[in-house]
Amino acid sequence: MSLVIGVDSSTQSTKVEFRDVDSGELVAAGRASHPDTGVAPISETHPEEWLKALDSALYQAGFTNHDKNVAAISVAGQQHGLVAIDGDNNIVRKAKLWNDTESAPDASWCIQQRDAKWWADRVGSVPVASFTVAKLAWLKRVEPKNWARVARVCLPHDYLSWQLRGARANEIVTDRGDASGTGYWSPKSGQYDNEILQVIDAKRDWSGALPRVAAPLEKTGTWQNAVVACGTGDNMAGALGIGLQPGDVAISLGTSGTVYCVSASPTFDASASVAGFADATGAFLPLVCTLNATKVFDSFANFLNCSLHELGDLALASECGSRDLVLLPYLDGERTPNLPDARATLVGLSASHTRSDVARAAIEGVVCGLLDGLSAINDCAVDTSGRIFLLGGGAQSSAVCQIVADLTGEQVNVLNEPEIVALGAARQAAAALTGNWPQWTASSRVAAHPVASDDQKTTTRQRFAAVRKKSFGV
């Protein structure tokens, strides 16, 4: 049996899956946690920790060096993080991660240099604190000595793939999907945007500082005699794992929340709500990301002194709209809308409200924020009329599935695979090995049908938007 390995290096852990290259059958899996990344607004990790976790996850899965059955490997990683490398290939400082918001002033500075429409037209997205371009500006402003040491910059998945290929692989390689989340690579042109890089530092020679962008099915090197695929970002790998088709919608609730679709054409949203990403196949992946998703559920379960399962039961005991109670779930600021300094707000609480209403408001607040993102994608002329897939830890909650169904008015599908990003990476590994995308993807099942009325759905969404507008002006 010939095997491929899919790697998911996320914010909190590394997961690996060994799959049969022909059937996609899962043969073995492993998981290892990452150290705590810090407290908002700071979120940082030394890249060596990702390597340690990868080694541990492979060991847990039963991998031994020079396993002749392994024919290919691909790494999917958390997007946007900044890995800075000096001229001797040493790490300059801890990697700034996507959810680090210290660079919020630098994102604003970037927009001040060129307006939002200019950025959207150039690279499909407008800078926010999450994007690598803002973190580059932060490093130059705040740590000039470290900035002077930087010879190359790359993303988390780029770094891991580079290390897999070994010390002799001096070239760092990325892919179009992850590159599109930097804020300085254009999905429209398929090139790095030198004018943007000059905005960050006009005195720097950028020609050798950035990874080469590989073709989607390119073999970029070898590891233990196995082909190394170019890898991609975690959201792009998620789309691969689902087998997302035009019109389909993926809503992921994990550490962050994301909603994304496949598009045949690049998107440009000057409002900064929709990031106009590329995908891992040659198409495009317009995406909206929120910072606050399942951690809101964790926090409210703690506040209500109950388990996550009990939080869901409480929520289902209330009604759609939480009896006019609204949570703006911005516990640690927010990315979409761009409110890095915001905090959560519970509006409308009265003596008549119950624990069930509070629990439902917590879930509805997270879901409403993501569905506003879906509306923004639809406003970019992207077809969103297909199936809805719910992913991530939130998909394991029947209450979350039901509330998504109620607030969309559509049935909600969940996947029968626990690690969809690792599955997508395994598909990419198989494609790099064979030259063709394999037919195997995740199977799914219907998890919920809407039971709320159209009036309840519309009123709940409108009330959330009105409270957000009144509280934050957006």
70-77 vs 3-9, strand pairing mode: parallel
Q: Which contacts of 323-327 are long-range, i.e. CB under 8 A and separated by 24 or more positions?
A: 323/352, 323/353, 323/357, 324/348, 324/463, 325/349, 325/353, 325/357, 325/358, 325/360, 325/361, 326/361, 326/364, 326/365, 326/463, 326/464, 326/467, 327/296, 327/361, 327/362, 327/364, 327/365
Phi/psi for 44 (5° steps) reads -140, 150
Contact 56, 33 (CB under 8 A): no
* Chain CA centroid to CA 52, Å: 22
Distance CA 393, CA 248 (A): 20
First to last CA, the chain: 55
Phi-psi category of 323—alpha, beta or left, where left has phi over 0 and alpha has psi -120 to 50? Answer: left
Contact (CB, 8 A) for 27 and 5: no
Residue in the block written with tokens 């150290």: 35
Given 100, 178, 234, 372, the catalytic residue? 234
Clarify whether 332 is annotated catalytic.
no
Hunting for tokens 């964790």 — which residue is that?
298
Residues annotated as catalytic are: 234
